[in-house]
Amino acid sequence: MKTNRLIVAGLASLLLLAGCRSSKHVARTTDADTSATQLQTPPVSDTEVGRTGTPETVSPSQEAKGETTDAKEEKGRRKNKKDKKETSESQQPTQQKTTADAVTAKLSLTLKAGSKKISLGGNYRLKRNEVVQMNLNYQVLFVSINIGTLELTPDYVMVIDRYHKRYCKATYAELPSLGQAGIDFNYLQSIFWGEAGESPTPSLEWAYDGWQTLGDGQFPGKIEFSLKSSSTAYKAIFNLSNLSTDSDWATRTTLGSGYTPMSLDSVMRLLMSVAK
């Protein structure tokens, strides 16, 4: 079932590829070096020295025509810096973040892997310092089928493929890509609580939007992840509704009989097959 393979791959990619390096890091470094070189350009004074060494005064009529090229470039750099700052600030809530111990919401999730795309429904559940849990449903006519679960706890991460009755459960030590990027459970839960800052790795980015009042603070109604491997771009867009602070639900998923374990290598092969 290609649809289900994409679902499992999309969920697993957020975890298994989070620490991967990409060419984006090189691009950022190059941009930074270029900006640093440009900023070293001395400011334009009221006089400019010609080729003969004789000062050439800029007349009022020349000033009235417009800014010099260097001045325009400097103005453009300042505008870009201001735009980036305003974009970053727009992702932050206007009020303090919620201090609730639990959050539940209805989830509308869009997963993309390269040119492939699928939309899912489900439940979004958080308990602070205990678990991040998402149950995913696929709508077939008027029937909603539970087909996948993502569960993060302080001790393990687990992806469940309910269609094929298999699962992948691993400790954080078994996910070196996360450890190398400095991402542990505390950091992962801060992302899903809408409290994380800038990503520690250039291959994974996220953005918050649609802030809503929850308890005594704010919680994002939309979380968008962008993940880039060496060959494929993944995207996950979480749209949340019916937010509440309900805490009456199980924090651990119990698997029924018949489920078989799936190795990390199997998950990685699945990711690669979906990316083709």
Judged against a pLDDT cut of 90, whether residue 224 lies above it is answered with yes
Q: What is the pLDDT of residue 46?
A: 43
Q: Summarize pLDDT for 150-188 with one digit per residue, the tens.
A: 999 999 999 888 888 889 898 888 887 777 777 889 999
Q: What angle do CA 241, 244, 247 make, to 5 degrees?
A: 135
Which domains are assigned to the chain? 2-21+98-275 (2.50.20)
Question: Residue 177: which of 264, 102, 100 has the closest Cα?
Answer: 264
Q: What is the pLDDT of residue 54?
A: 44
Q: What is the pLDDT of residue 142?
A: 76
Q: Summarize pLDDT for 252-274 with one digit per residue, the tens.
A: 999 988 999 988 777 666 655 54
Q: Summarize pLDDT for 234-249 with one digit per residue, the tens.
A: 889 999 999 999 999 9
Q: Are 159 and 267 spatial neighbours (Cβ–Cβ below 8 Å)?
A: yes
CB atoms under 10 Å from CB of 187, counted, come to: 17
Judged against a pLDDT cut of 90, whether residue 250 lies above it is answered with yes
Higher pLDDT, 207 or 77: 207
Q: Are 163 and 149 spatial neighbours (Cβ–Cβ below 8 Å)?
A: no
Average pLDDT over residues 60-72: 52
Task: Identify the weakest region by mean pLDDT among 8-12, 37-41, 207-211.
Answer: 37-41
Higher pLDDT, 145 or 216: 216
Question: Residue 148: which of 156, 138, 256, 157 has the closest Cα?
Answer: 138
Q: Summarize pLDDT for 112-124 with one digit per residue, the tens.
A: 888 888 888 999 9
Judged against a pLDDT cut of 80, whether residue 105 lies above it is answered with yes
Judged against a pLDDT cut of 80, whether residue 126 lies above it is answered with yes
Q: What is the pLDDT of residue 161?
A: 85
3-class secondary structure per residue, the chain: CHHHHHHHHHHHHHHHCCCCCCHHHHHHHHHHHHHHHHHCCCCCCCEEECCCCCEEECCHHHHHHCCCHHHHHHHHHHHHHHHHHHHHHHCCCCCCECCCCEEEEEEEEEEEECCEEEEEEEEEEEECCCEEEEEEEEEECCEEEEEEEEEECCCCEEEEECCCCEEEEECHHHCHHHHHCCCCHHHHHHHHCCCCCCCCCCCEEEEEECCEEECCEEECCEEEEEEECCCCEEEEEEEEEEEECCCCCCCCCCCCCCCEECCHHHHHHHHHHHHC
Q: Are 124 and 104 spatial neighbours (Cβ–Cβ below 8 Å)?
A: yes
Q: What is the pLDDT of residue 257?
A: 87
Assign 55 a pLDDT band (cuts: 50, 70, 90).
Answer: very low
Instruction: Give CA–CA dist 204/183, Å, rounded.
Output: 11
Judged against a pLDDT cut of 80, whether residue 85 lies above it is answered with no
Judged against a pLDDT cut of 90, whether residue 192 lies above it is answered with yes
Q: What is the pLDDT of residue 252?
A: 95
Q: Around 242, how many Cα atoms within 13 Å sit in the side-chain half-sphere? A: 10
User: Does the global pTM surpass 0.75?
Assistant: no
Q: What is the pLDDT of residue 262?
A: 86
Q: Summarize pLDDT for 20-31 with one digit per residue, the tens.
A: 333 333 333 334
Q: What is the pLDDT of residue 58?
A: 46
